[in-house]
Amino acid sequence: MRLDVPSAATLLAMSLLVSPDVHATPDDDDAPTSAHAAPSAPATPVAARVPDREEVSPTDPAPEAVDDHSRGYPWRGRLEGDGVRLEASDSVHLVEAEAERGFHWGTRALVGLVERAAARVAHEAPSAFGPVRLHVGELSKRGGGNIPGHSSHENGRDVDLGFYMLDAEKHPYEPPRFLNVRRSGRSGHERQPLRFDDERNFLLIRALIEDPETTVQHAFVHRSVRRRLMSTARRMGASPVLLEQIERVVIAPGVSHPHRNHFHVRIYCPSEDAGVRERRRRCRDRGPWWPWLPEAHPWRRYLVPLPGLNEHFDFTRPEPAEESRGRRRRARAD
C-alpha cells in the first residue's frame, strides 16, 4: 500500500492552526479582562441611559438556525452548535458589551432564564426614573470552552449577574462595572455613595428560583450578601418553602473569589443534553439535586429526601442511581 506523506510546508501550515491550551484562572476583581473590573468610569443614573440593541450587540452575528447543546461539565465542557446570544433589552444591560470578547453566549435555557427574570423584576419593581435593568456579565463564548478570568463558564450554563444598586436618593443606578458590596450594604464606589438594592435583588433571586422553565442549581455570592437576602426574604413575607429554597440554592463560594460584586448563577443540564447516551457528548453535573427538577429530568434518579422540603415536593426516583457513587466534591463557583 502506498501512503501519501505530507510535505514539510503542509505540516508547518497545520501546526499554525493549533492554538495552545489556555488555563482559565478563577474570577478575580482585579483581572483586567473580566466584566467585574472594567476601567473605572463615572456611574450613570438610570434615567440618563437609553438602551440600544445595536450598540451593545457583539459584532459576531448570531446564527439563524439555533442549535445549542451543553456538553461536559461547566469547568470542562463546550457549547456545541454555537449557542444562543443574549441581547440587551429594556430590562437587560450587558456589561462590557462593546468589548471584543462578547462572551454572552449560552444555552436557550440559560438565556431564556435571564431574560424572564430581568423582565419579572422590572415589572414587579418599576421605577419612575427610568428602566430597571439587570446587569449581565459573561456567560460563555461562542462554542464554549475556556475563557480568561474564569475557571468555569465553559458550556453555556453559567452567568454572572450584577447587583441592582440604588443611589443616594434611592433611585435605581447603573454603574459601569460590577461593584463590591460591604456588609453594611454600601458600595465603595469612588464618586458617590451607592447601596445594595435589597428588594430588587431578592426579587431577582425569587424569579430565578421560581422560573417555570429552567431550574437553577446554584447562585454563588458572598455570605454577607446571602445574609441580606435571607433577611429581606423574611421581611417581605417569603413562604417557608421559598426560604428553604433560597437557603439551599444561594451559597457562599470558596475563598479564591468570594463574589462580593455579583451573583454567579448556574443551571442544571437541560434534560435533552443530560439524557444523551454517548458519554463523550453528555452534559454532566455534580450534586446536589433539588426536588423541584422537572419530572422528566434524568437527574431526578439521584434525589434524596431533604429536611424542610419533604412535605412540598415529590422525591420519587424513576430508577436507582447508577452514577452517584464516588467521592462528592465541592461545586466550583468561578
Whether residue 255 is found in the same domain as residue 310: no
> What gap in Å lies between CA 322 and CA 19, rounded to an integer?
37
Residue 277 lies in a domain: yes
Which position has the higher pLDDT, 190 or 92? 92
Q: What is the mean pLDDT of residues 264-289?
A: 87
Ramachandran angles phi, psi of 264, nearest 5°: -105, 110
Residue 273 lies in a domain: yes
Whether residue 245 is found in the same domain as residue 310: no
Whether residue 231 is found in the same domain as residue 313: no
What's the pLDDT score for residue 259?
86
Of 35-49, 78-92, 184-198, 297-311, the least confident: 35-49
Whether residue 85 has pLDDT greater than 50: yes
Number of domains present in the structure of the chain:
2
Whether residue 171 is found in the same domain as residue 307: no
Q: What is the pLDDT of residues 179-198, one digit of tens each?
A: 889 888 888 666 778 999 99
Q: Are 200 and 228 in contact (CB under 8 A)?
A: no
Q: What is the pLDDT of residues 143-186, one digit of tens each?
A: 888 888 788 898 899 999 999 999 988 999 888 888 889 888 88
Residue 19 lies in a domain: no
Whether residue 90 is found in the same domain as residue 152: yes
Whether residue 65 is found in the same domain as residue 135: yes
Residue 14 lies in a domain: no
Whether residue 262 is found in the same domain as residue 316: no
Which position has the higher pLDDT, 198 or 48? 198
Whether residue 199 is found in the same domain as residue 103: yes
pLDDT-based confidence at residue 334 (cuts at 50, 70, 90): low
Q: What is the mean pLDDT of residues 224-248?
A: 95
Q: What is the mean pLDDT of residues 200-211?
A: 98
Whether residue 178 is found in the same domain as residue 278: yes
Range of the domain at 261: 43-285
CA distances 288 to 123, 249, 268, 330, Å, are 32, 9, 10, 10
Residue 228 lies in a domain: yes
> What gap in Å lies between CA 165 and CA 189, rounded to an integer?
11
CATH number at residue 232: 3.30.1380.10
Residue 186 lies in a domain: yes
Residue 148 lies in a domain: yes
Q: Which amino acid would we find at residue 323?
A: E
Whether residue 161 is found in the same domain as residue 309: no
What's the pLDDT score for residue 332?
59
Which position has the higher pLDDT, 139 or 330? 139
Residue 5 lies in a domain: no
Q: What is the mean pLDDT of residues 276-304?
A: 87
Whether residue 307 is found in the same domain as residue 206: no
What's the pLDDT score for residue 135?
93
Whether residue 198 is found in the same domain as residue 178: yes
Top mean pLDDT of 10-14, 69-73, 147-151 is at 69-73
